[in-house]
Amino acid sequence: MSKTKKDTIQRKDWKFVNADPDPDFDADHNKRVIAKTIKKNEAYRRKKKRAYKEKVDERAEAISTYIQSLKQGGRESDINKYFGRREMARLRGEEIMNKLNKLKKNGKAGKQIIYN
């Protein structure tokens, strides 16, 4: 029975530490798996961030064209009339679909959706 380093493990967790480590345990494999997982997670986060930024950029561009139109003396001051019913529905629809997909993934489909 080998001794564990008690200075690195809190006393309350000693009961969970196996005094005889697994003979098939490979620390290098463990490090490779952790590095691979971190790399995948970072790539996933970059992908999600890029997708979010694209959506925000699209909406910001739409709002900036509306404001430019107002500054240049555009006739339409109502944003719904400026973009039209379909474009406003598309811009809102993506947001609603994202919320529904999140609810579906979390197993909360059919529950009330709160709009911000």
pLDDT on residue 71? 76
pLDDT on residue 107? 67
**What mean pLDDT is reported for the chain?**
77
pLDDT above 60: residue 113? no
pLDDT on residue 50? 92
Q: Are 4 and 17 in contact (CB under 8 A)?
A: yes
The string of pLDDT tens digits covering residues 71-106 is: 777 776 677 777 777 777 777 776 777 777 777 777
Q: Which two tokens stand for residue 16?
A: 């969970």
- Residue ranges with strand state E in the chain: none
Q: What is the distance between the alpha carbons of residues 88 and 35, in angstroms, rounded to a whole number?
A: 44
Q: What is the distance between the alpha carbons of residues 85 and 21, in angstroms, rounded to a whole number?
A: 66
pLDDT on residue 38? 96
Higher pLDDT, 40 or 10: 40
